[in-house]
């Protein structure tokens, strides 16, 4: 998978035809908390509240160009990828079917339906839902939209181009890892711009398949992905994504759900931005690595803000129903 600068800029033009760039801000209270100059990339400010919309826009634009009569697409998600495809599908007049695991976020489910997706609940987790979505593609004659693909990476890399060009030179960027498009987009943009920025992946201790795979040097699957940060709840790494991450990332930091909850609270108190679990994970990792990053300039990818109110109250605030 090669993404040179012209290819990334072409994808960025598709993205920016549908939405403006999101901001990147240096927040003084966050910087004081970390002992480092902290630049936050606000992907919680996209039309779907998460970075994934960028990949969906590029994927659907290119699919529609190559197959004007495409009958529809089907995919699996915990929420943000599905919202991105539904948003882009509506823009391009393409029917979108999304499979989510049972017990998925009610608010993300509602958002996908509001963008026009047909929603199907199946399986206990994301990977089971993904298998069912692939089966539906064959049964219904639909195009299966994966969660990791070159067009998705090119699309989401547009946020990294914006960050690297809009912020001063960054020593380190912390990026959450779900299935890998976000971190691979950051690596692609960094390399295309010829920067020396260190890229650090972040995973949950309860959903650490990529961390295990990174250490082992090959794909390692797990039997569970147990975390409140649903955007990182993946059991089966993508082999191509892993190869890119192993070549381009310095390390993967694991954080607990308690550390992520602390980071969500920190984002609210220090910036008055609401982060979902995966969105706060980079800040949680930077807080773990305070000594390592002291006095440097770091980028934090706030990849989304789509957290259910009930989950926020129980997990982050510790309130009982």
**Burial grade of 80 (CB within 10 A; 0-12, 13-18, 19 or more):** buried
CA dihedral 134, 221, 228, 83 (to 10 degrees): -30
Question: Tokens 């072409």 correspond to what residue?
Answer: 10
- Angstrom distance (rounded) from CA 38 to CA 29: 9
92 has a pLDDT exceeding 80: yes
- Element housing 260 (H / E): helix 257-271
Tell me, what's the pLDDT at 227? 95
1 has a pLDDT exceeding 70: no
> Could you say which DSSP state residue 19 is in?
S
Q: Which two tokens stand for residue 243?
A: 């190869």
Same fold, 5-51+150-316 and 53-144: yes
**Burial grade of 319 (CB within 10 A; 0-12, 13-18, 19 or more):** exposed
Question: Tokens 């779900």 correspond to what residue?
Answer: 178
126 has a pLDDT exceeding 90: no
- Given a contact cutoff of 8 angstroms between Cβ atoms, the answer to whether 66 and 297 are in contact is no
CATH code of 5-51+150-316, in short, is 3.40.50.1100
> Which residues share a beta bridge with 297?
37
- Mean pLDDT, rounded, for 288-293: 98
- Which pTM was predicted? 0.95
Domain ranges of the chain: 5-51+150-316, 53-144
- Angstrom distance (rounded) from CA 137 to CA 50: 25
Give φ, ψ of 23 to 5 degrees. -80, 160
CATH code of 53-144, in short, is 3.40.50.1100
- Angstrom distance (rounded) from CA 159 to CA 140: 34
Give φ, ψ of 82 to 5 degrees. -65, -40
Tell me, what's the pLDDT at 127? 85
Tell me, what's the pLDDT at 79? 87
Question: Tokens 């770091």 correspond to what residue?
Answer: 298
pLDDT digits (tens, 9 = 90+) for 151-187: 999 999 999 999 999 999 999 999 999 999 999 999 9
- Mean pLDDT, rounded, for 115-122: 96
pLDDT digits (tens, 9 = 90+) for 49-59: 999 999 999 99
């Amino acid at each position: 998978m090669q993404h040179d600068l012209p290819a990334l800029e072409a994808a960025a033009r598709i993205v920016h035809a549908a939405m403006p760039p999101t901001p990147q801000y240096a927040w003084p209270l966050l910087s004081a908390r970390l002992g480092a100059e902290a630049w936050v990339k606000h992907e919680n400010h996209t039309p779907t509240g998460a970075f994934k919309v960028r990949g969906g826009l590029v994927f659907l634009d290119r699919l529609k160009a190559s197959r004007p009569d495409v009958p529809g697409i089907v995919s699996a998600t915990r929420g943000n990828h599905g919202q991105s495809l539904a948003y882009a599908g509506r823009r391009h007049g393409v029917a979108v079917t999304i499979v989510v695991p049972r017990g998925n976020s009610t608010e993300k489910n509602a958002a996908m339906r509001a963008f026009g997706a047909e929603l199907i609940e199946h399986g206990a987790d994301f990977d089971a839902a993904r298998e069912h979505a692939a089966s539906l593609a064959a049964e219904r004659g639909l195009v299966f939209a994966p969660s990791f693909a070159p067009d998705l990476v090119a699309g989401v890399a547009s946020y990294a181009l914006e960050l690297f060009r809009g912020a001063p030179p960054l020593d380190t960027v912390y990026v959450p890892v779900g299935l890998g498009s976000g971190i691979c987009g950051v690596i692609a943009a960094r390399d295309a711009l010829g920067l020396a920025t260190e890229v650090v992946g972040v995973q949950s201790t309860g959903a650490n398949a990529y961390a295990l795979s990174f250490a082992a040097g090959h794909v390692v699957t797990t039997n569970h992905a147990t975390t409140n940060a649903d955007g990182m709840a993946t059991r089966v790494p993508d082999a191509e994504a892993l190869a890119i991450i192993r070549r381009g990332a310095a390390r993967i930091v694991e954080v607990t759900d308690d550390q992520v909850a602390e980071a969500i609270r920190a984002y609210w108190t220090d910036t008055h931005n609401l982060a979902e679990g995966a969105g706060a994970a980079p800040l949680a990792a930077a807080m773990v690595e305070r000594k390592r990053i002291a006095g440097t300039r770091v980028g934090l990818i706030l990849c989304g803000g789509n957290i259910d109110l009930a989950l926020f109250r129980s997990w982050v605030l510790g309130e009982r129903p």
